[in-house]
Amino acid sequence: MGINKAKKLTTIGYKAAALLTGVTILLTGCGSFKGFAVSEVKTEDGDIETVSDDALISVGFSQLGSESTWRSANTESVKEALSTNDGFFLIFDNARQKQEKQFKAVRSFISQRVDYIVICPVIQEGWEMVLTEARDAGIPVILLDRSISVNDDTLYTTFVGEDMYAEGASAGKWLEEYLEDKGMDGKDINIVVLEGTSGSSAQVGRTRGFGAIAARHMNWNMLASANGEFTQAKGKETMERLLHEFDDIDVIVCQNDDMAFGALEALDEAGIKTGEKGDKILISFDGTKKALELVKEGVINVDVECNPNSGELLAQLINDLEAGKKVDKTNYMEEKVFTKENVDEYIDERNY
Ligand code: GYE
């Protein structure tokens, strides 16, 4: 059965679902998602989408939230790569930063008997029980973007995402070289860190990676680390607080661009400049277009890329699994480090 037929079934399903609001029906009666089935799904915009057909691979996707520019790009990337035209039926759920909501979504995917479950885990810990349920149901789980901390790695099939530790270490190494170039490597350097969601692999990995480099330098003083929750608003609030607390900050590390934008608002209001025109070094992560423009302007000194475009690789991995191929357990995205020297060639192609 081809994709065209699947599309036809979508239309039939839409009408059926319009009549049966709030109900999910499986016409096969065998309890399997595969086969002729009509299922109602609400999209993010509140539209009703229904479909199912043998030709489509059904994927339940638990996205952790929509806190940042990066996150929106990541969601877009998955939706684009797992489209009906590509042979997928995607069920999207936004957990709005709540692990409990992710558990609920996963359980609902299990009861719908999807073919695959994809999770961007908001935090690292606490996944054993729900992943055991998925494993017992025979549904492969793919972790996307953030990783988890479990002893039993058979609880998930594969991980596709970013190497957060390497990102943190890249930021540290950049600072090391920069200070050396400026002849400041013997000077006391006071550092504050605006961290992302506590307990997320992004926060833990970047903190550890940067910390490993910092540990090599007795003169790097970690003044404070504060939670900015990966959002612009919280980044601003946290920076304001740190500025009240400390008047001798040399380096500000923001674990994502949105927090850096918020920090820049607070700094601007306090009349403080960063980068080339100021006396504070600003380090950020993600590499969004707006941030790359600020790197070009010399406001952000360095931006360590975190690549959100993992949708294509995710689709590839699912297709490989469908074909019975063995896939790698860990699949890292390619990432760069942006400074004024190299940023020009990347700004135009950025779509997030
Ligand atoms: O850096 C941040 C986001 O998990 C790598 O989450 C991701 C981080 C990203 O919201 O912007």
Instruction: Tell me the mean pLDDT in the region 221-241.
Output: 98
If you average pLDDT over residues 118-128, what whole number do you get? Answer: 98
Residue of higher predicted confidence among 82 and 48: 82
* Residue 16 pLDDT greater than 70, yes or no: no
Residue whose CA is closest, atom 8 of ligand 1? 202
For the stretch 111-142, what's the b/e string if a residue is b when 16 or more beta carbons lie within 10 angstroms of its beta carbon? ebbbbbbbbbbbbbebbeebbeebbeeebbbb
Task: Write out pLDDT tens, residues 18-48.
Answer: 333 333 333 333 334 444 454 454 555 666 5
Assigned CATH topology for domain 164-306: Rossmann fold (3.40.50)
Give the model's pLDDT for residue 55: 84
Instruction: Give the span between the Cα atoms of 267 and 235, in whole angstroms.
Output: 11
Q: Which of 9-18, 52-61, 335-344 has the lowest mean pLDDT?
A: 9-18
Q: pLDDT, tens digit, for every residue of 48-69?
A: 555 556 789 999 999 999 999 9
Determine if ligand 1 sits within 6 Å of the CB of residue 92: no
Average pLDDT for the chain: 89
Sign of CA dihedral 312, 317, 321, 324: positive
| Residue among 159, 170, 229, 230 whose CB has most ligand 1 atoms within 8 A, to mutate | 230
Burial of 54 (0-12, 13-18, 19+ CB in 10 A): middle
Closest atom of ligand 1 relative to the 70 alpha carbon: 11
What per-residue confidence (pLDDT) applies to 43? 56
**DSSP assignments along 253-320, one per residue:** EESSHHHHHHHHHHHHHTT--BGGGSSBEEEEEE--HHHHHHHHHTSSSEEEE-----HHHHHHHHHH
Q: Is the CB–ligand 1 distance for residue 146 below 6 Å?
A: yes
- pLDDT of 2 higher than 90: no
CATH 3.40.50.2300 maps onto the chain at 5-161+308-333, 164-306
Distances (CA, A) of 148 to 124, 304, 333: 4, 22, 17
64, 68, 207, 310: residue to mutate for ligand 1 pocket, most atoms within 8 A of CB: 68
Ligand 1 pocket test, pick from 64, 70, 254, 261 with the greatest ligand atom count within 8 Å of Cβ, gives 70
Please, which pLDDT band fits residue 10 given cuts at 50, 70 and 90?
Answer: very low
Residues 232-241 have a mean pLDDT of: 98
Q: Is the CB of 201 under 6 A from ligand 1?
A: no
In the CATH hierarchy, which top-level class contains the domain 5-161+308-333? alpha beta
Ligand 1 center to 230 CA (angstroms): 7
| Residue minimizing CA distance to atom 5 of ligand 1 | 202
pLDDT of residue 232: 98
Tokens 């996707």 -> residue: 61
